[in-house]
Amino acid sequence: MTYRERLTNVIKAQGSHLCVGLDPVPDRIPGDVGQFLQQVIEQTAEYAAAFKANTAYFEVMGSRGYSVLEQLRDWIPAEIPLIIDSKRSDVPHTQQMYADAFYKELRADAVTVNPLMGAETIAPFVADSRYGAYVLGLTSNAGAADFLAQPLARQPLWRQFAGLCERKDLGPGTLGLVMGLTQQANEAFEGVPDVPLLIPGLGAQGGTAEALRGLAERSAPWIVNVSRGILYADESAAAVAQRYRDEINAAVGVP
C-alpha cells in the first residue's frame, strides 16, 4: 500500500485531517520530555490523522533528544503515520543517507524536503511508494515572500516546486507539497495541484480554518498541522485536538 493510500485510509477512519505537531521546547515542559510527548500522543491519537516531529526540537537536546525521537514510532499507533519534518536538501548520495536514517532508523512514514537542489535530490525519498515526501511549496512564514512567492519565469517559485509533485519519475501520488495556511486567506489553494498536502499555520501562526474551504473537492489526502496550539494549551491536549479537528471538519466536512 502506498503512503498516499495509507494516509487516505487513516483520514477516513479517524474522521480527521488533523496532524499533531510534536515540537518539544524543554523550558516549557514540566518534567521529562519523553513522558510529556508520550502523554500528548495518548491524549490526541483519537483525533489525529498523523503526527509530525520537527527534528530541530530534538537535536537541540543532543543525544537525549535524539533518543526521544527514536522512540516516537513506538508511542504512536501503528496505523497513524509519523512525518519527520527535516527539510533536508543535499546531493543525491547524501539524501539517500537521510532517507535511510528517517525511514529505517526512525521508522518514519514521510518526510519534508527542500527541492532547491533539483529533482534528483528528492528521488531517494520516493523510491519506495510505501513512503511519502512533502516538497516545500509556499510555506507559512512571512519570509516566504522573499523567494517562494516571487515570480520566476512568469510564475512564483513555489508553483515550479509544485510541478515536481506531478512528475511520473518522482512517483506521482507519493510526493506531496507543503502549503502554509497563512498564505491562503485570499487564494483558497487556487492553482495548487491535486497532490497530498501538508498544511502548517493553523492556530499559533494565525491561519484560520476558513481558508481550507477550497480543499473540499480534492481527491488527494491533506492534513493540517497544529503544534504549539496543542502542546502548550491551558487545557488538556485531548480537548484542544478535538476542537481543532472539529473546526477543520466544520469548514470542509467530515472526511
Catalytically active residues, by annotation = 87
Residue type, 247: E
C-alpha dihedral (147, 150, 151, 153), degrees to nearest 10: 0
Residue type, 243: R
CA 76, CA 111: separation in Å to the nearest integer?
A: 16
The answer to whether the CB of 41 falls within 8 A of the CB of 51 is yes
CA dist 7 → 33, 69, 109, 223 (Å): 27, 21, 10, 9
Chain length of the chain: 255
Write out the H or E segment, with its range, that includes residue 242.
helix 237-252
The answer to whether the CB of 21 falls within 8 A of the CB of 226 is yes
Residues 6+ apart with CB under 8 A from 157: 147, 148, 149, 150
